[in-house]
Amino acid sequence: MTISLSLVTTWSPAKDGEPMGYGLELTNNGDEPIRDFQLGFSGPARIDPTATLENGILLRRLSNHTLIAPPQGFVLEPGEKWTAIARGLSYGLRHWSDGANSAYVVLSDGTIVTLATTPTQAKGHNSPLLKGAAKFPIPPKAPVPLSIIPWPQSVATTGARTAPPGFDLQPQGEGAGRAAAAFAGLVDDLFPVEGIVRPLSEAGMPVSIVHKPGLAAEAYEIGFTADSATVHATTRQGMFYGLVTLGQILRGARQHPQTFVFPTGGTITDAPGFGYRGCHLDVARQFYSTAEVSRLIKLLAWNKLNKFHWHLSEDEAWRLEISAYPQLTEIGAWRGHGKALPPLLGSGPYPTGGYYSKNAVRQIVALADSLAVSVIPEIDIPGHSYALLQALPELRDPNETGEYQSVQGFPNNSLNPAHEPVYRFMETVIDEVLELFPAGIFHVGADEVPLAAWSGSPLALDMIEKLGGPEMRRKHEAQFNQLGNHHGADEIEGSPTALLQAHFIRRVHDYISSKGAITGGWEEAAHGDAVDKGKSFVIGWRNVEVNAELAERGYNIVVSPGQRYYLDMANGVAWAEPGAGWAGWSGPQETYEFEARAGFSEHALTHLLGIQACIWSESMTDRAIFDRLVFPRLSAIAESGWTLPERKSWDRFKALVGTMPIMYGHWSEH
C-alpha cells in the first residue's frame, strides 16, 4: 500500500457577489482509498472562528493552525481529489506567503503523513513569485567615490590609489586592541578568504588605532596618507566603527575599482545622529539557531546598528532557559501534532522548535558586546503568553471561566494581574534574565492585550472594582465571552482592561527598577502612565503620529512604525511579493526616506532616543523570504539612524547598498 497525497491551496477574493474562498484541494496520488482522515495545515492567514467550511468539518482551530475532516463517510479514492472551501478568514490573503506553508494528514490509525505544500495560488495571478534580496547593481559611476553605509557626518578625503589587499592593524592600548580583535573576527566571518586583516608580510596596509580624548561615545576620525591610515576615537566602540568604515571603503574599492576609490589623503569625521539604532528579531514565531542570531548581530555591526532587541517569548513559543521553571522550555519551546502547542506557522506535525540555553545566551551577549551591540531581552507580558500558560497553567485564576481571544486568535493568553502567583513568577524570571543580560534593560512587551481579557476571572473583576469602582466592574463583566479583535488589535485605552494592565506593568516595572534596570515596552506600556518615565522607554509601532504624542508626554521613545520599519511588511502591493500587509507596504526607497524626527516639537525631540527595525517572523519559514524582506531595508534604516536627514540621499544609498552583505545569501532571480 502506497500512501501519497498532495495539497494545493487557492485564494479567490470576494467578487461579483461571490464571498471570499480559501480552497483546500487534497489529491490521493497513491494506490489505496483513504477514509476517516483529518487534514491539518498552518500559515500566517487564519481561518476565522465564525468561518463556514463547505464540503468539510472544522475540528479544531488555534490561531493559524487548523484541523479539518471531510464529510462523514467520505472516501478519497486513488486519483481523486477532495476540495473543501473555507468562507471566512481573519484577513483576506494579500501575498503568496499568506497561505498554508505546511500541512499533514492524520490517517484513521493515527499515522501522520506530511504533505508537500506549494504557495497558495491566487485567482488571476500568474507572475513569478519573488524570493531573495532584490539586487541593487553597482553603477559605473556613483554619486560619491567612497563606499560607506551609513554615510558619515563629514567626508573630506583626497586622492586615489589602488586599494590595498588588506589592513595590518596596529592598536595602541587595551580598548584599541579589543576593537581591532572584534573587527578582525567580524571580517573573517562575514567575508572569508578576502583577507581584509592581514600582516605587513602579506602587503597589509598599516592602520593605527589610537585613543583620542574628548570625542563622543561612538564618534571616530580617520586620517589617510598615501600608504597608511589612522583611526582616532575615545571609546572602543568608536574605534570599531572607524574600522568598519575603513573595511567598507576597502571592499568597495577592491571589488568595484571602476566605481569606488581608496583615498590617499584627507579625513573622515563621524558620529551617529541617534544613540539608539536598533533591530528586533522575533525568534518565537520561527526559531533561529544560535549561529543565525550570531550572524544577524554581525550584520547589525557592519551597518553600525547598536541595539539588538531579542523577542524571546510569544503565544507561539517560549525560547529562553529559565532554571526555576524548566517546563517553560520543555513544553513551551516545541510544537507538533498532539503537543501543548500544535503546528503553527509552518512548523509541521513532528516536534520542532528550540530554545536558547543560558550558555548560548552568554556567548551571543559576549559576541554582541565585542561588536558594540547591546542586547535587550523581551519577555512579552501580560498578553502574548499562551505558550507560557500552556507550560505553567497554575498561573491562571483557577476559577476563571469563558474565553477571550487575542488578535492572533489565541484564547485566554494573558497573565492575570490579580493572581498573586504571577508576580512571584515574574520576579524570578526578571532575576534570571537580568543576570544574563548586562545591558540592564528588561523589555516587558505590554502590547495587544485583548479588551475582554480576564472578564471571566473573579479575581480580576474584584480588582477592577477595587481600582475603578462598581461601574468599571460591570463594564468588564459585559465583555464576557466577547471575541473582539475584529479590525486589528483591540484599543484598550481607558478600559477596565487597561486599568488592570497598568496595575500589572507598574508592579513589574517597580521590581525591575529595584534591580537598577531600565524597563522597555511597546507603546501600550504607557497606558495609565504605569512606568516611571525616567527609568523606561517605549517603542511606538501602531502609526507614525503616536511617537511624537508619547514623546510630548515625556516618554523616552524609539520610533518603529509598522508602516515603515516593520520588515515583515511586503516590499510592494503585488501578490508575487512575500510578507505581511496589515500595516501596508514599504519598499526600500519608502523605508529609506521616512524621517523619524518629522512631527516632533523641540521638547519632544529631547525624548527621541532613536529608531528600530522590527523583524517579525510569521512569514519567515522560507529563509529566502527573510533575505527579501530584511535586505536592503535593514541598511536603509541603519543609515536613517546614523546619518543626519540633510546628508541622506536615496540616489547615493542605492548606488552603494549592493556592496552590503545579507543573511543567507538568497538573491532574487527576478
pLDDT surpassing 70 at residue 549: yes
Sequence-ordered alpha helix ranges (H) in 570-649: 588-593, 602-605, 623-630, 633-642
Residue-wise pLDDT for 247-257, tens only, equals 999 999 999 99
Quick one: 264 and 281 in the same domain? no
pLDDT grade for 123, boundaries at 50, 70 and 90: confident
The mean per-residue pLDDT over the stretch 605-610 comes to 98
Quick one: 564 and 493 in the same domain? yes
The share of the chain scoring above pLDDT 70, in percent, equals 99
Q: Is the peptide bond before 139 cis (omega within 30 degrees of 0)?
A: no
State the Cα–Cα distance between residues 181 and 176, nearest whole angstrom. 9
- Domain count across the chain: 3
Q: Which domain holds residue 194?
A: 154-270
Quick one: 20 and 54 in the same domain? yes
Q: Which of 349, 352, 351, 341 is nearest to 106 (CA)?
A: 349
Residue-wise pLDDT for 411-463, tens only, equals 999 999 999 999 999 999 999 999 999 999 999 999 999 999 999 999 999 99
The mean per-residue pLDDT over the stretch 131-156 comes to 98
State the DSSP code for 490.
-
Residue-wise pLDDT for 180-220, tens only, equals 999 999 999 999 999 999 999 999 999 999 999 999 999 99
pLDDT grade for 486, boundaries at 50, 70 and 90: low
Domain end residue (candidates: 583, 599, 621) = 621
Quick one: 246 and 392 in the same domain? no
Residue-wise pLDDT for 333-361, tens only, equals 999 999 999 999 999 999 999 999 999 99
Quick one: 558 and 582 in the same domain? yes
pLDDT grade for 485, boundaries at 50, 70 and 90: low
pLDDT surpassing 80 at residue 642: yes
How many CB atoms lie under 10 A from the CB of residue 190? 17
Predicted pLDDT of residue 487:
65
Quick one: 248 and 313 in the same domain? no
- Residue 403 grid coordinates: 474565553
State the Cα–Cα distance between residues 607 and 201, nearest whole angstrom. 51
Residue 668 lies in a domain: no
Residue-wise pLDDT for 85-120, tens only, equals 999 888 899 999 999 999 999 999 999 999 988 999
Helix (H) or strand (E) holding 294: helix 290-302
Residue 176 lies in a domain: yes
Enter the pTM of the model: 0.97
The mean per-residue pLDDT over the stretch 560-569 comes to 97
State the Cα–Cα distance between residues 78 and 433, nearest whole angstrom. 55
Residue-wise pLDDT for 162-174, tens only, equals 999 999 999 999 9
Give the length of the chain. Answer: 670
Predicted pLDDT of residue 458:
98
Predicted pLDDT of residue 492:
85
Predicted pLDDT of residue 124:
84
CATH number at residue 48: 2.60.40.290
What's the one-letter identity of residue 524?
A: E
CATH number at residue 163: 3.30.379.10
Quick one: 47 and 195 in the same domain? no
pLDDT grade for 50, boundaries at 50, 70 and 90: confident
The mean per-residue pLDDT over the stretch 275-295 comes to 98
Domain end residue (candidates: 77, 100, 122) = 122
Quick one: 245 and 218 in the same domain? yes
pLDDT surpassing 80 at residue 537: yes
Predicted pLDDT of residue 261:
98
pLDDT grade for 83, boundaries at 50, 70 and 90: very high
Predicted pLDDT of residue 422:
98
User: Mean pLDDT across the chain, nearest whole number?
Assistant: 96
Half-sphere exposure of residue 484: CA atoms within 13 angstroms, side-chain side: 27
How many CB atoms lie under 10 A from the CB of residue 56? 20
Residue 422 lies in a domain: yes
Domain end residue (candidates: 270, 297, 312) = 270
Residue 18 lies in a domain: yes
Buried b (16+ CB within 10 A) or exposed e, 81-115: ebebbbbbbbeebbbbbbbbbbbbbbeeeeebbeb
Residue 326 lies in a domain: no
Quick one: 232 and 280 in the same domain? no
Predicted pLDDT of residue 465:
97
State the DSSP code for 152.
P
The mean per-residue pLDDT over the stretch 592-603 comes to 97
Quick one: 389 and 403 in the same domain? yes
Listed in sequence order, the residues at least 6 apart from 541 whose beta carbon sits closer than 8 Å to its beta carbon are 447, 522, 523, 560, 561, 562, 566, 614
Residue 651 lies in a domain: no
Quick one: 260 and 288 in the same domain? no
Q: Which of 338, 328, 428 is nearest to 386 (CA)?
A: 328
Quick one: 540 and 399 in the same domain? yes
State the Cα–Cα distance between residues 288 and 621, nearest whole angstrom. 10
Residue 136 lies in a domain: no
Residue 295 to residues 276, 291, 396, 669: CA-CA distances in angstroms? 20, 6, 38, 24
The beta-strand segments (E) located in 79-219 are: 81-89, 102-106, 112-115, 121-122, 154-158, 166-171, 204-211
The beta-strand segments (E) located in 465-595 are: 518-522, 536-540, 557-559
Q: Which of 299, 270, 307 is nearest to 642 (CA)?
A: 270
Residue 57 lies in a domain: yes
CATH number at residue 573: 3.20.20.80
